[in-house]
Structures are given as structure tokens and as C-alpha cells.
Amino acid sequence: MAKINGFIGRRNFIHLAGLGSIGIGAIVGAGGILWNKEPSLAEDLSNDVVERPKPVNPQAALNNLLAGNQRFVQGKSLHPRQSKFRLQETVAAQYPFAAILGCADSRVPAEIVFDQGLGDLFVVRVAGNVASGEAIGSLEYATSVLGAQLILVLGHTKCGAVKAAVEGKPLPGRIGVFVEEIKPAVEIARKKNGDLVENTVIANVQYQAEHLAQRSTILGNLIKQGKLKIVGGHYDLATGKVTMVS
């Protein structure tokens, strides 16, 4: 059986009762379409076995994310792969082309701001987009098992978790647990000119991205093998635009 990223063998994808099986379209170059045009539910589908699509390389995955965000910003979202057929297509298996470590903020839903559909993104959302143990484990699954070759750590303007870390006040319950994970980024941001909270948002994206590779042997090995890239992004609540963070 073929291996995906050196870990998990190929799985059968899906068989739709009364419809036969569906075919997955080939990936079209960087920034291209991830799937062929979705057939009608009434279409006579002849293939008995559906092959797992090849993982999307990191640059192509990033290009697709940025192209989708551009559509969102311009008010030209396509809302792709959200049909009834796509819903049934993804019942038995998922093959996301990218993983997102984003903030749990209700104003930053990754599938919407990147104009993607069902099964396209593996999204882990934690307040402050921190690389907690649970988040890292989820991303290890997304990459080593599901085959995603890109992880985007996505921060955003006016992040409440970052603001709390900057203020440093005592917090109730377990809120302080994830805020503590942001404080190293606060100290990095103090060395820069400008607004401390917004500088910390950027520093936190960079810090969490670095920690993903440092704290996970699985992710680190995939990076060394050229099968994974981790990048950072910054989402503007006012414009909807995602800017890459180097």
C-alpha cells in the first residue's frame, strides 16, 4: 500500500450508494483548481475505485489560499465545493490540501476568509493561535496521516488573547493557560517600535510557527524531508485581507 508522507497507507475513499464511485480531479499547477468540476448527482459515474489525490505541494497550497482570500476581499467568493455532492463525497474520507492553526475568534473563520469548501482545510482553532500540545497533535495528524503539506499559522488584528498577554493581569479559570503561551512573544515585541499589541500579534505568529517544528518530531522530520512547510499569516479584521508574515 502506498504511504502518505511516510506514515499511513492508502485508504479507500468513498462509494456512493446507487451512484457508483466518484473520481477526483488532478491538481492543476500553483494557484490552480484543486478538484475537477463536480458532477451532477444524477450523472452516471463509472469508476469503481477512487484513488487518493496526490498531496498538494506547499507553494501550490499557499497560492490557493491566497487566491481564495483575494476573492473574499474583492467580494467575489466562489463558495467552492459546498454542494450536496461534495458533502457526500467527503463522508468516508478527507484529504485537506492545507492545515490552519488559527485563533478561535469568531470573526476569523478560515474556510470563509480563504473561500474554500468542505474537506479543503484542516483547521485547528485556539484562542491566540497558540501551539498547545493538543494543537500540535492535531496538526501532526493533518500532515502525517491526511497528507497536508502546508501549515499556516494565522493571527489577526485586535486579538483579545494577545491583548490579555500584553496587559499581564490575573485571569480566571483556565484562560491564563493559553495566555501564558503568548507571553514570550510579548517580550520579543517589546524590542520593536510601534503598537505593542499589534507587534505582539505578529511576533506571536512567528513564535508559534517556530515552536511547531521545534516541539514536534513528526513535523520537524516532514520539514526536513521537504514534505511540509510552516508559514505565518496576519488577518486584518477591517479589510479581510491576509498578509504573509516572514
- If we measure between CA atoms, which residue out of 242, 239, 217 comes closest to residue 228? 217
| Percentage above 90 pLDDT, the chain | 75
Pair 219, 136: CB distance under 8 Å: yes
More confident: 17 or 242: 242
pLDDT exceeds 80 at position 13: no
pLDDT at position 55? 87
Asked if the model's pLDDT at residue 25 lies above 50, the reply is: no
Is a pLDDT exceeding 80 seen at residue 111?
yes
Mean pLDDT along residues 59-69? 98
**What span, in angstroms and rounded, lies between the C-alpha atoms of 101 and 31?**
21
Residue 208 and residue 200 in contact, taking contact as beta carbons nearer than 8 Å: no
State the pLDDT at residue 15: 34
Instruction: Domain ranges for the chain, please list them.
Output: 57-245
Task: Name the least confident of 13-17, 48-52, 62-66, 80-84.
Answer: 13-17
- CATH code assigned to 57-245: 3.40.1050.10
Share of the chain above pLDDT 70, in %: 79
pLDDT surpassing 80 at residue 203:
yes
- For residue range 179-191, list pLDDT tens digits in order: 999 999 999 999 9
Calpha distance 212→230 (Å, rounded): 8
Over residues 128-137, the pLDDT tens digits come to: 999 999 999 9
Identify the residue with better confidence: 35 or 143: 143
Distance CA 157, CA 49 (A): 46
pLDDT of residue 19: 32
Band (108; pLDDT cuts 50, 70, 90): very high
Half-sphere exposure of 98 (CA within 13 A, CB side): 29
User: pLDDT category, 72, cuts 50, 70, 90?
Assistant: very high
Higher pLDDT: 172 or 29? It is 172
Judging by DSSP bridges, how do beta strands 242-245 and 229-235 pair with one another?
antiparallel
Confidence of residue 46 (pLDDT cuts 50, 70, 90): very low
Averaged over 115-131, what is the pLDDT? 97
pLDDT tens column, 137-153: 999 999 999 999 999 99
